[in-house]
Amino acid sequence: MICDRRSVSYVNLIWSEESETKEKGADMWKARPEDNKPMTMNPTQPAQPVPPLAAATTPSPSTPAPHKETPKASEPHRSADVGHIGKSVQIRGELTGSEDLYLDGEIEGSIDLRDHTLIIGPNGKIKAGITARDLVVHGRVEGKVSASGRVELRKSCTLIGDVSTQRIVIEDGAFFKGAIDIKEKDAKPESRKPLAAAAISGSGMSSGEGSGITYSAAPASQGSFLDPK
Amino acid sequence: MSSSGHNLKKWFRGAESAETKSTGPGKSAPRTSRRCIGLGELLRNLKSAGEQKLSVLDLGPTSPANISFLTGLGARVFNEDVLREAQDPGYLVKQEDGSMQIDPSKFFAANLDYPPDQFDAILCWDVPDYLPEVLVRPLVERLQVMLKAKGNLLAFFHTKDAGPESLYSRHHIVPPDVLELEPIQGFRLQRIFNNRHIENLFKDFASRKFFLGRDNIREVLMVR
């Protein structure tokens, strides 16, 4: 969503620049009646100075400006509907929320993001019970984890505690100590594959392939929560 | 002709790179696979037990394949990397002679803390061969208590012929009865158990079945 806002503000900048050139043009060339009418937002005010970025990307008539320089795809965890807690943040207590959260700091207490995704970054150190829809762990978690959707343990992660989830993805190299309980799928309809009990990514997957066990194709088809949406 | 030769070369180069991919620096060591009769029998026993919700404890390093396979069977999977935990210097206490040794009570206060009759099966792999001496007997005693009646425990023991440089491995189950062994550096074989040692160690179990593999690994399936 931030991307959208940036693109909107960028369009505004282009707009002001265009209006400025039009005004300059009005000085240089013979003024036409239509020049005075619609182009400037506020003709009484002087044209706003154009920041260098906009100046460097002056739109040519052949290339439409908004498409020429779209905002960079920002990291998904920084998008507007994903909260972000940085690595220097330490929290003790209860953390609840109604949006996805990227957590790279230290938390002691409990985390409740019942219907949302929680991503523990590589610097994250969590000593808390976690309830979330989906959980991706890169850092360290000590505590009971309950996820109604999927749990992903990435290769750099350490998880000490019991996990209760519908689906779990464990990368080779992840350290896990505790119990894994695969919950039965609720009657509540979800757009997840029904047969999947557990899905494994990384090289561990290869050992299971062709074994007659029905693994979910989730790792390949669904990708990561960290992938740009 | 030359193009087919080129294709052939390309083919072999491709195969070569695929092979070295898994053995490159920083990657895990290449895996070897072996048929495991004990595992096959353990899985058959589990299926025939007809339990609705099995509980299986894996004492090896976290294996995604094992977790996937076992949860696919509908089992609740417990994982405790006992050997890695035993490396933690926090469990060391100073002895009277000044040496440092693991304190079993301290170790088991933090590890394998489960109620009795919890598990239908325990995958012990070759952990006893690499575990510090002071932990071996308490570990086996604890495992015996944690197993349900008629529960199965699978353990591997190296024979003399396997040699002292035998690497500790992470075991990945490839159903129905194959194991992929992924060597893990940093652990040294501590001892060689002979059959009598094993029988003494697991004397409280109702039955013990021995299977000797071609790779000088003795598989033992214990039933409580």
pLDDT tens sequence across B129-146: 999 999 999 999 999 999
Inform me whether the C-beta atom of residue A32 falls under 8 Å from chain B C-beta atoms: no
Q: Is residue A10 part of a domain?
A: yes
Candidates A141, A155, A147; CA nearest to A204 is A155
**In the predicted model, what is the mean pLDDT of residues B120-127?**
94
| Element at A180 (helix H, strand E) | strand A175-182
Q: Is residue A116 part of a domain?
A: yes
pTM (two decimals): 0.67
Could you list the pLDDT tens digit for every one of the 229 residues in chain A?
Answer: 444 444 333 333 333 344 444 444 444 444 454 444 443 334 334 444 434 433 333 344 444 444 433 334 334 445 567 889 999 999 999 999 999 999 999 999 999 998 999 999 999 999 999 999 999 999 999 999 999 999 999 999 999 999 999 999 999 889 999 999 988 776 444 443 433 344 444 443 333 333 332 233 233 333 333 333 3
Are residues A62 and A86 part of one domain? Answer: no
Candidates A193, A192, A190, A155; CA nearest to A175 is A155
**Radius of gyration for chain A, computed over Cα atoms and rounded to the nearest angstrom:** 25
Cα–Cα distance for residue pair A53/A68, rounded to 1 Å: 13
Q: Is residue A228 part of a domain?
A: no
Number of domains in chain A: 2
Q: Is residue A225 part of a domain?
A: no
pLDDT value for B214: 79
pLDDT tens for each residue of B185-215: 889 899 899 889 999 999 999 999 999 887 8
Are residues A112 and A60 part of one domain? Answer: no
Facing residue for A177 by CB, picked from B68, B81, B174: B81
Q: Which residue of B has its CA nearest to A202?
A: B64
Are residues A101 and A198 part of one domain? Answer: yes
Are residues A132 and A97 part of one domain? Answer: yes
Does ipTM come in above 0.90? no
Are residues A84 and A40 part of one domain? Answer: no
Q: In the 8-state DSSP scheme, what is residue A227?
A: S
- Longest pairwise C-alpha distance within chain A: 80
Are residues A145 and A60 part of one domain? Answer: no
Are residues A40 and A85 part of one domain? Answer: no
Q: Is residue A229 part of a domain?
A: no
Report the range of poorest mean pLDDT among A21-35, B66-80, B93-107, B124-138: A21-35
**Radius of gyration for chain B, computed over Cα atoms and rounded to the nearest angstrom:** 20
Q: For residue A68, what are the contacts with CB-CB under 8 A and spacing of at least 6?
A: A57, A59
pLDDT tens for each residue of B141-177: 999 999 999 999 999 999 877 777 788 999 999 988 8
Domain stop point among A14, A37, A68:
A68
pLDDT value for B46: 86
Is the Cβ pair B173, A200 closer than 8 Å?
no
Are residues A168 and A90 part of one domain? Answer: yes
Going along chain B from its start, the domains and CATH numbers come out as 37-223 (3.40.50.150)
pLDDT value for B28: 56
Q: Which residue of A has its CA nearest to B21?
A: A203
How many residues are given for chain B?
224
Cα–Cα distance for residue pair B183/B23, rounded to 1 Å: 12
Residues in chain A within 8 Å Cβ distance of B68: 170, 198-200, 204-205, 208, 213, 215
Tokens encoding A11: 């369009």
pLDDT value for B164: 72
Q: Is residue A148 part of a domain?
A: yes
Residues in chain A within 8 Å Cβ distance of B21: none
Q: Is residue A110 part of a domain?
A: yes
Tokens encoding B98: 């000044």
Domain stop point among A68, A89, A117:
A68
Beta bridge partners, B183, equal B169
Are residues A209 and A173 part of one domain? Answer: yes
Are residues A189 and A133 part of one domain? Answer: yes
Are residues A201 and A173 part of one domain? Answer: yes
pLDDT value for A80: 61
Check if the beta carbon of residue B150 is closer than 8 Å to that of residue A188.
no
Domain stop point among A21, A39, A68:
A68
Are residues A112 and A31 part of one domain? Answer: no
Using DSSP bridges, classify how beta strands B207-212 and B217-223 pair: parallel, antiparallel or unpaired: antiparallel
Cα–Cα distance for residue pair A163/A145, rounded to 1 Å: 5
Q: Which residue of A has its CA nearest to B54?
A: A181
Cα–Cα distance for residue pair A146/A166, rounded to 1 Å: 9
Q: What percent of chain B lies above the pLDDT cut of 70?
A: 87
3-state secondary structure chain B: CHHHHHHHHHHHHHHHHHHHHCCCCCCCCCCEEEECHHHHHHHHHHHHHCCCCCEEEECCCCCHHHHHHHHHCCCEEEECCHHHHHCCHHHEEECCCCCEEECHHHHHHHCCCCCCCCEEEEEEECHHHHCCHHHHHHHHHHHHHHEEEEEEEEEEEECHHHCCCCCEEEEEEECCCEEEEEEECCCCCCCCCCHHHHHHHCCCCCEEEEEECCCCEEEEEEEC
Q: Is residue A183 part of a domain?
A: yes
Q: In the 8-state DSSP scheme, what is residue A38?
A: S
Interface test with B, best of A142, A145, A152, A176 (most B CBs within 10 A): A176
- Minimal C-alpha gap between A118 and chain B (Å): 21
Cα–Cα distance for residue pair A167/B95, rounded to 1 Å: 46
The parent domain of residue A11 ranges over 2-68
